[in-house]
Amino acid sequence: MFLTLLSVLSFYSKAMAEARERTFIMIKPDGVHRGLVGKIIKRFEAKGFKLVAMKFMWADKALLEKHYADLAGRPFFPGLVEYMSSGPVVPMVWEGLNVVKTGRVMLGATNPADSVPGSIRGDLCIQVGRNICHGSDAVESANKEIALWFGEKELVNWQPYPWQDLPDDYGKDGFSRINNLKQRFPHLKGAPPSKIVVGLPFYGRTFVSELEGKLGDSADSQGFKGPYSNEHGFMGYNEICSSLQNSSYDWKTEWHDESSQMVARYTDPVTRKGHSVTYDTTRSIANKIKFITRKELAGAMCWSIDTDDFKGSCPEENDTYADFGQYPGVKLNIPTAPKGSFKLLKTINEAMQLASVEWQQEKDIEFAKKQAELDKQNEIPHKETGNTASSLYKTVLPILLVLLPTIVIL
């Protein structure tokens, strides 16, 4: 049994070491000049390997001579060093199971002509002297090359989220995704609020249903197209505005409190199918800015400006700040509804200031309440004035009556 346990532990240790195996991959000047850096990185990421270090640099000849020291006696060595120092390179360290051997297979043979299709060199280059990448040929040489190009502190030890372990119902909405991760992987601390940027969509998602197209109705696998974007399931905010003003369709709009979004729908007069689109209005954008402010997140980004109302054709939305100023005691100067072009962008700008003022006032009001409660708890209790006077009267009067004859005689 003891020997069995030792063999299990030995196997486990070996498996862990293999999983943390590292290799050195460097994109050469021709790969950088041809704009292939992203494609090469994507291949290693898609394979499942983990990037732990990367640089973009112009290597000097001294460093390159050390790197290719085993080729110093070859006639092509001077030309190799000259070429490698002719432009920037991207040295990287990748980690994963059998990454050294698999990395070499992914790169292909040194001579692109001998590389199989599907490999990096087989797909992306044709000359042996311009073969895009360098990859370590053994674990020992990988360790040596990594130490040459990177310092210990430049190697980042991190663990990716285990997305493959998520349940089938993962992804119903953003909040359930976050809560699901917290419950299933409590050891994952996540990013601090100050590093989270929220994306604000300047578009809506379209749906087609055999029913009326209300929330909860079953939908076809493909939504309808926008008039300009011509993409199934997608309509920019400007497209939605334009469509809602088209009198050919009997659009009905409804604000959905739970999701803080607008829902618009109509029934196609020909197919009798329900067409609906859920999208962000100035009100929902303002509410999202309010959320970002209260959670003290890093900020917001939008996608994308070209789907905002850049022509100013969308009607004014007078409920933009309908959900602001509802806290008792808060006093706000609510701006008027955004006018003209780029209504969503204008809402972001105004809502940031308004949400900050509102949030500060709410915190000040709550602080004042707590301070008042604390003062009340620390207050020293006093006896009632009437009882004190009565007691004093009862104590002093007999003394005066006793002393009165003495005072008169004197």
Whether residue 281 is annotated as binding a ligand: the answer is no
Peptide bond into 229 cis (omega under 30): no
- Residue 31, number of CB atoms within 10 A of its CB: 24
| Phi-psi map region of 45: left, alpha, beta (phi>0 left; psi -120 to 50 alpha) | alpha
Using alpha carbons only, what angle is made at residue 224 by residues 218 and 225, rounded to the nearest 5 degrees? 160
Whether residue 110 is annotated as binding a ligand: the answer is yes
SS3 readout for 148-199: HHCCHHHCCCCCCCCHHHCCCCCCCCHHHHHHHHHHHCCCCCCCCHHHCEEE
Whether residue 131 is annotated as binding a ligand: the answer is yes
Element (H, E) at 239: helix 237-244
Whether residue 104 is annotated as binding a ligand: the answer is yes
Report the alpha-carbon distance of residue 139 to residue 322 in Å, rounded. 63
Give the residue from 207, 346, 227, 357 showing the smallest Cα distance to 281: 346
Running DSSP on this structure, what letter comes out for residue 18? H
Report the alpha-carbon distance of residue 366 to residue 371 in Å, rounded. 9
Q: Which residues are annotated as catalytic? A: 134
Which residues have C-beta within 8 Å of that of residue 66, sequence separation ≥ 6? 148
Whether residue 28 is annotated as binding a ligand: the answer is yes
Whether residue 202 is annotated as binding a ligand: the answer is no
Measure CA of the first residue to CA of the last residue in the chain; give whole Å: 114
Which residues have C-beta within 8 Å of that of residue 211, sequence separation ≥ 6? 217, 218, 274
DSSP string computed for 28-44: -HHHHHTT-HHHHHHHH
Give the residue from 107, 136, 100 showing the smallest Cα distance to 124: 107
Element (H, E) at 240: helix 237-244
Half-sphere exposure of 101 (CA within 13 A, CB side): 4
The binding site consists of 28, 76, 104, 110, 121, 131
Binding site members for ATP: 28, 76, 104, 110, 121, 131
